[in-house]
Amino acid sequence: MNFDKLNQWLLLGSHIGILGGLILVGLQIRQEGLLAEAELRAEVSALQVDVQNVVMGEAPSLVLEKAAKDPAALTIAEFHVLDALLINQVASWLNTKQLSQLGVIPENEWKARMERSDYYYFGNPAARAWWEESKSSLDPEFVAFTEPLMRKTSPKGNVEFYDRVINRLRDEAN
């Protein structure tokens, strides 16, 4: 009789093990599906970035300079370069956000990356105007996080940062 009870317990244990294994396989399949989706989105994004890189050409920094110093004088061609640069950067931040949500990178890495670089991309009046025109088509959580960053970053941040660096270099040279 003890042998029958032991056999029943072993059978129950094996069923629980099989059920647990099936649950783990299901979770792994789900995770792999999410990663495959992220990879497909990254590939589509990479294609878009390639197109935007062609539009930007070889000297987008000249357009950034004009956007910072004389934004109202941007030509349509220069605006397209600025647009491509900003689209690429926003896409990069959104891809980082997705990878963060999937657990591929630390949870708030997308926010940290934005906090480290928003002044560079949005520290000029032309980029700010672009943002105001573009934000309605973006992820609401992304926009909600970005808005306070914009408020604490000077719209003349590019020029102000440049001036501080140049002044430091001049002071050190004297």
Which pair of tokens denotes residue 19?
A: 């059920």
**Residue 53: pLDDT over 70:** no
Whole-model pTM? 0.68
Helices (H), 75-124: 76-102, 109-122
Nearest CA to 36 among 104, 97, 94?
104
The arithmetic mean of pLDDT across residues 67-86, rounded, is: 92
Comparing 75 with 38, which gets the higher pLDDT? 75
The arithmetic mean of pLDDT across residues 140-160, rounded, is: 89
Residue 123 DSSP label = S
pLDDT single digits (tens) 117-136: 888 888 999 999 999 999 99
